[in-house]
């Protein structure tokens, strides 16, 4: 993730197997911890849905991308900036 993409929506895709679910849970736990450590800023939203291939797709709001910017650069994570997603059919992660 570049500095210029920090304030954009980001998408992270995981395999739909047990390993992918574990990686997604770890990402959310780490993001939640950082969110709390930074004073629980407003606007941190994470949404998810199942992909047609059975995988998991997570969308991080621009504020979530800023708060979790060091997480989004993990090697192999594959986080990528994306346009604001259509959230129809997505579920909001309620930890934030």
Can you list the domains of the chain with their CATH numbers? 8-85 (3.30.70)
Check if the beta carbon of residue 42 is closer than 8 Å to that of residue 61: no
DSSP state of 22: H
How far is 66 from 90, CA to CA, in rounded Å? Answer: 21
Q: What is the pLDDT of residues 33-58, one digit of tens each?
A: 999 999 999 999 999 999 999 999 99
- pLDDT score for 6: 65
- pLDDT score for 7: 82
| pTM for the predicted model, two decimal places | 0.89
């Amino acid at each position: 993730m570049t500095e210029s993409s920090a304030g954009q929506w980001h998408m992270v895709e995981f395999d739909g197997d047990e390993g992918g679910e574990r990686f997604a849970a770890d990402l959310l736990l780490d993001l939640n911890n950082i969110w709390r450590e930074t004073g629980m800023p407003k606007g941190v939203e994470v949404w998810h849905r199942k992909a047609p291939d059975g995988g998991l797709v997570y969308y991080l709001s621009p504020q979530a991308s800023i708060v979790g910017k060091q997480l989004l650069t993990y090697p192999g994570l594959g986080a990528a900036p994306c346009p604001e997603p259509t959230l129809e059919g997505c579920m909001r992660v309620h930890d934030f």
